Structure 1
């Protein structure tokens, strides 16, 4: 696996997991944790956050990292 994909998975995956946890914590006002994770909507939202984090945010971070390395 290339360095780019490793970096994208690390940075974007971290953001995705953080957003899943963050939205789940704020959803505790309306539903319990077990009710939240038992709905298909939770898994669709979780997959969306991970995909968005890895492919979009991870790519943007990778480009910024390469740009900074080339400046030095």
Structure 2
């Protein structure tokens, strides 16, 4: 059985967040600065090294203009 961190839904989420960041023309450092987080935070969730908790995810979605 696959580790939950590397399951399809998390892979898809990471891919969608990375694609959206690129659509907006933002670098990982740009997103990190807007989140007031270290630059390493963004590649960790984009590369499935870490999944953001619910509050972090909501904040990322807002920064990427993916929430309404």
Q: Which range, TM-score by smaller chain?
A: 0.3 to 0.5
TM-score w.r.t. length of structure 1: 0.38
Higher relative contact order (CA closer than 8 Å, sequence separation 6+)? 1
